[in-house]
């Protein structure tokens, strides 16, 4: 189980990290909202502990962006504010639970266990772009009437691109997401997979959805009809 802790105060984040590691969790740290979003985009965490008070983008915004990207990882928000309005704001932004600072580590651990017991929410909503659809439940991918047979890696790449429609996904992002940190960025494995994926997705279709961003990576075009 990997937990991401997002907190700019080093003392607090390392304290939480130690406590979680004693419970046999693997912990990664992010000290800003930007860093957190970058990590969340690339890695699949089992749970996120997110402090509201962060420099530049705050926890509410991080949470909102995360949910917009359809990343449904269970999330506990840490807030120094006790006002009901802030708690509501957090839950509205997509947090699953919140804890008011100062909190006891025992309570945090209890919340973590309880949220993990509820299980990772499986994102079951179908992704759809024009006539291309991907069903996370059945792993069925269709373009128009055609059912497309993708390899496991191709499926993972397509899922990644579709959730980030209109955004450039660099080879590094795609590589780390699909192959993990062992991925060698100098190999042409991504281009080879993308080329196959493209044949299957766009092949005979007039409207090409996958676009190469020269020198950078790939994206799914932001077309809406």
Q: Which residues bind Ca ion (CB under 5 A)?
A: 8-9, 51, 53
CB of 138 to Ca ion, least distance (A): 41
Q: Collapsing DSSP states into helix, strand and coil, what is residue 137?
A: coil
87 Cβ contact list (under 8 Å, min separation 6): 79, 98, 100
Please state the separation of Cα 89 from the chain's center in Å: 21
Between 83 and 151, CB nearer to Ca ion: 83
Nearest Cα to 7, choosing from 73, 95, 101, 85? 101
Please state, in angstroms and rounded to a whole number, the distance separating the CA atoms of residues 144 and 148: 10
CB of 54 to Ca ion, least distance (A): 6
Please state the separation of Cα 215 from the chain's center in Å: 24
CB of 16 to Ca ion, least distance (A): 11
The torsion angle over the Cα atoms of residues 18, 33, 97 and 119, rounded to 10 degrees, is -70
Between 75 and 150, CB nearer to Ca ion: 75
The neighbour count for residue 149, using CB atoms within 10 Å, is 9
Please state, in angstroms and rounded to a whole number, the distance separating the CA atoms of residues 127 and 49: 27
CB of 95 to Ca ion, least distance (A): 15
Between 53 and 116, CB nearer to Ca ion: 53
Between 8 and 46, CB nearer to Ca ion: 8
Between 59 and 217, CB nearer to Ca ion: 59
Block residue for tokens 């932001």: 222
CB of 225 to Ca ion, least distance (A): 43
Between 30 and 173, CB nearer to Ca ion: 30
186 Cβ contact list (under 8 Å, min separation 6): none
Is residue 61 within 8 A of residue 95, CB to CB? The reply is: no
CB of 152 to Ca ion, least distance (A): 39
């Amino acid at each position: 189980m990997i937990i991401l802790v997002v907190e700019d105060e080093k003392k607090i984040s390392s304290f939480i990290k130690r406590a979680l590691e004693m419970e046999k969790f693997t912990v990664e740290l992010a000290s800003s909202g930007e860093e957190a979003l970058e990590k969340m985009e690339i890695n699949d965490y089992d749970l996120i502990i997110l402090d509201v008070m962060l420099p530049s983008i705050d926890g509410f915004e991080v949470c909102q962006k995360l949910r917009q990207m359809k990343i449904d990882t269970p999330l506990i928000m840490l807030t120094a504010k006790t006002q009901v309005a802030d708690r509501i704001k957090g839950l509205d932004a997509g947090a699953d639970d919140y804890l008011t600072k100062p909190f006891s580590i025992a309570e945090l651990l209890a919340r973590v266990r309880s949220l993990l017991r509820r299980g990772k929410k499986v994102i079951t909503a179908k992704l759809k772009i024009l006539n291309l659809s991907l069903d996370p439940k059945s792993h069925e991918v269709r373009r128009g009437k055609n059912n497309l047979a993708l390899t496991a890696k191709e499926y993972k790449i397509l899922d990644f691109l579709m959730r980030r429609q209109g955004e450039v996904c660099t080879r590094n992002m795609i590589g780390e997401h699909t192959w993990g940190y062992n991925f060698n960025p100098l190999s042409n494995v991504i281009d080879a997979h993308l080329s196959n994926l493209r044949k299957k997705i766009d092949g005979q279709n007039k409207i090409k959805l996958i676009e190469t961003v020269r020198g950078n990576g790939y994206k799914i075009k932001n077309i809406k009809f």
